Amino acid sequence: MNRNDMERVKALVRNIPDFPVAGIQFKDLTTAFKDPFALRAMADAMAELYEGRGVTKVAGIESRGFIGGALLAAKLGAGFVPIRKPGKLPADTISMSYDKEYGTDVIEMHRDAITSDDVVVIHDDLLATGGTMLAAFKMVKSMNPKAVYINFVCTLKGLNGRAMLPAEVEVTSLFDFDGK
């Protein structure tokens, strides 16, 4: 992974104060996603992290996790599994509720999306408090895949979301922000 490229991508992320609620400093990655260089650099850097690991599925968390997750799946020659808000998937689902920094939510995944033969990367754009990813991890693990990895484009180090995730799972991100 080219550190200069990631610094260039990081510089494209804009801050939105008080979104979605007062007191939250939202990191908006859409400004990086719309930049062709940044999008390609993120996809290449993520794929480099998982090359040769036998990844068969990438599960992306709605909605920004769909962008990086689909890119990563395509780069690795893997399938893509959407993890969505309730009522958005047409077939039989499993669900998990979780707490997040500004409320409670639920996510779902198709019950037949992952098998015991799969090696899965769960992807989201940003690690904040870790609640959403922990719920996604528990859902994916309940399907008994061979291995599970967790990936983010970026991490908000000040919120210590990594501590929420199981110590035995490998968690990667392309770059960090020091604040909250």
Question: Is 7 considered catalytic here?
Answer: no
Name the residue among 40, 18, 43, 41 with its Cα closest to residue 28. 18
Q: Which of 62, 101, 111, 162 is catalytic?
A: 101
Question: Is 162 considered catalytic here?
Answer: no
Q: Which of 3, 14, 53, 64 is catalytic?
A: 64
Structure tokens at 139: 């859902």
- Residues present in the chain in total: 180
Name the residue among 33, 81, 85 with its Cα closest to residue 55. 81
Beta-sheet strands, E only, within the chain: 14-17, 25-28, 57-61, 79-83, 93-100, 103-110, 119-127, 147-156, 171-177
Number of H helices, E strands in the chain: 5, 9
Residues 68 and 37: their CA atoms lie apart, in Å, by 14
The residues that are catalytic are 64, 101
